Amino acid sequence: MAITRRAAIAGGLAAPFVIRQGASAQAPSRSETLLLVQEYGPNSLDMQGIGSSQPVNGVALNCYDRLLRFKPVPIPGGGGHQVAMGELEGELAESWQLASDGMSCTFKLRDAKFHSGRPVSARDVKWSLDRAVSIGGFATTQMNAGSLEKPEQFVALDDKTFRIDFVRKDKMTMPNLAVTIPFVFDSELAIKNSGGDPWAKDFLKNNIAGSGAFRVESWKPGVETIYVRNDDWACGKRPQLRRIIARDIASPSTRRALIERGDADISYGLPPKDFKDLADAGKVNVVGVPIPNGVWGLYLNAQVGPFKDVRLRQAVAWVLPYDKILQASLFGRGVDMSGGPELPKPAWPQPFPYKTNLDKAKELVAAAGGGFSTTLQFDAGNATVAEPMSVLIKEALGAIGINVEISKVPGANFRTEIAKKTNPMTLNRFAGWLDYPDYYLFWTMHGNNSIFNIANYQNPELDKMIDAARFAGDRADYEKTVVEFIKLVNREVPMIPISQPTHDVAMQKSIGGYQFQPCREPDFRYLTKA
């Protein structure tokens, strides 16, 4: 049988162009709704789950509550609030009391309700913290960073009283309760829907079971996430915004056009140049907060290759064009890390004493035996900033006889490459959530050799000081140790700090109440729209 011509042509079109009356019903108005545009959205609704992407922090922040939260303090330049690491306030906790021996803390819970209507009890807190320390992956690593290591540490005394027993005195334990990992689930709801999994991973990945200020109304991974306000939120002032639409817009040019035209209310993650242009044009507000404990650094491999010689590491530090890099790659959206005082302050990051000085650099290279060729690698995902940076570094090092070949490593491969710790030079940005110098150095220069000790730096003397600072009880002792170890890395420079980048957000002039959080995700609870 063959299809005839006529049969093929006979496909008629019945167009149902009949108008149904009153189809466009109650659409919420623009003034109650915030439209956020971001590069990519959450890949899960459970920040404790394995493989959760950066934006999941925002879900944890807005839809769940923690025992404590960071206290907002004004950003020095204006534009909103940031946080102070040492200052905490209660979120689910109404009050808390450290034991006199400093080895435990007891929390009194507020009368809060989950979205399901069930009251939050200390058992829910225990289940959630047990989950965080047991589930593995990033959540457990982060809990351990604050010496929260095993379920036995968490005790539900009665419905409204909860205690954490410390394994050691660690100044990071309390602030670590305010990051986006130890948030509290509705454990009954989770267990009921767990399908036998003790931690209800599948259910919580796709559903919110919390008590936070917002609920997720709809979530289309890779497209959009819609949040609606929880009017019964008990842990803070009721947010002004009723509805948040977060759309994933991959192209930065499109995100910029949307914010400039006034169609989007707030935009995250633009290239530094766009933020600079937007700030200069003045049509929208751009708020930049220097990322606490974050810095762009040039890691010089101290075990393999030419930079084993400390003189060569210093030579590089003396020749980098710090200001040019800040202007040409970060477009001024950062803080210069050169020309600091000889005697450091107990702070991190801070300018190292190096500044561009060609003669000094040449002397050091000559003393170490003259020029050579080497490679510099960076994550292609950071190319917008890292590429101009590396070109400037290549140019500067050429002047002292070091010939640099630039290698751009694709995102998926970058972790593997830095884990090998064999490449002589690596350009990378690392930022720690907990804003302490010893925390930063623990990850990037300690002899335990975490993946972020890209320079492969090994120095027992430094390790001893970092460990001493981590668990120091006395403030003066602590600061003295910090100054000592910063002096040491100033001299040894396994990593040359280049610039502390700012975390920028562009928003319409009608948007107020911006709150910066260490997880760098938008906090809808404080935002307002005029």
Partner 1 sequence: MLRLIAARLKTTIPSILGVIVVTFLLTRVLPGDTAAYFAGPAATPQAIAEIRGKLGLDQPLPVQFVAYVKALVQGDLGQSLTTGQPVTADLAQRLPASAELTLFGLLIAMAVALPLGVLAAVRQGSWIDHLCRVVATAGVSLPVFFTGLLLVYVFYFILGWAPAPLGRLDVFFSEPPRVTGFLLIDSLIAREPETFRAALAQILLPALTLAIFSLAPITRMTRAAMLAVLSADFVRTARASGLSSRTVIGIYAFRNAMLPVVTTLGMVFSFLLGANVLVEKVFAWPGVGSYAVEALIASDYAPIQGFVLTMAILYVALNLAIDILYGVIDPRVRLEG
Q: Which of 10, 27, 476, 530 binds partner 1 (CB under 8 A)?
A: 27
User: Nearest distance from residue 446's CB to partner 1, in Å?
Assistant: 12
- Interaction of residue 142 with partner 1, rule CB under 8 A: yes
The site map against partner 1 for 243-262 (x = CB under 8 A) is --x-xxxxx-xx--xx-xx-
Q: Which of 17, 101, 117, 473 binds partner 1 (CB under 8 A)?
A: 17
CA-wise closest residue to 488 among 441, 522, 525, 432: 441
- Binding segment for partner 1 (CB under 8 A), chosen from 17-25, 208-216, 328-336, 500-508, is 17-25
- Binding segment for partner 1 (CB under 8 A), chosen from 80-88, 159-167, 414-422, 499-507, is 414-422
User: HEC states along 271-331?
Assistant: CHHHHHHHHHHCCCEEEEEECCCEEEEEEECCCCCHHHCHHHHHHHHHHCCHHHHHHHCCC
Q: Is 103 helix (H, G, I), strand (E, B) or coil?
A: coil
- Interaction of residue 99 with partner 1, rule CB under 8 A: no
Amino acid at 54: Q
- Interaction of residue 14 with partner 1, rule CB under 8 A: no
Question: Which residues, in sequence order, are bridge partners of residue 501?
Answer: 334
How many CB atoms neighbour CB 245 within 10 A? Answer: 18
- Binding segment for partner 1 (CB under 8 A), chosen from 98-106, 124-132, 219-227, 308-316, is 219-227
User: HEC states along 350-401?
Assistant: CCCCCCCCHHHHHHHHHHCCCCEEEEEEEEHHHHHHHHHHHHHHHHHHHCCC
- Binding segment for partner 1 (CB under 8 A), chosen from 140-148, 170-178, 339-347, 515-523, is 140-148
Q: Which of 53, 116, 373, 528 binds partner 1 (CB under 8 A)?
A: 53
d(CA 48, CA 36): 24
d(CA 307, CA 425): 9
Contact 100, 133 (CB under 8 A): no
Amino acid at 135: I
The site map against partner 1 for 416-455 (x = CB under 8 A) is x--x----------x-x----------x------xxx---
- Interaction of residue 510 with partner 1, rule CB under 8 A: no
User: Nearest distance from residue 396's CB to partner 1, in Å?
Assistant: 29
d(CA 252, CA 80): 24
* H helices present in 400-474, as ranges: 411-420, 437-444, 460-470
By CB under 8 A, the count of residues binding partner 1 is: 70
- Interaction of residue 222 with partner 1, rule CB under 8 A: yes
Site residues (CB under 8 A) for partner 1?
1-5, 8, 15-20, 23-24, 27-28, 30, 33, 35, 37, 40, 42-44, 50-53, 136-138, 140-142, 145, 205-206, 220-224, 245, 247-251, 253-254, 257-258, 260-261, 263-264, 381, 410-413, 415-416, 419, 430, 432, 443, 450-452
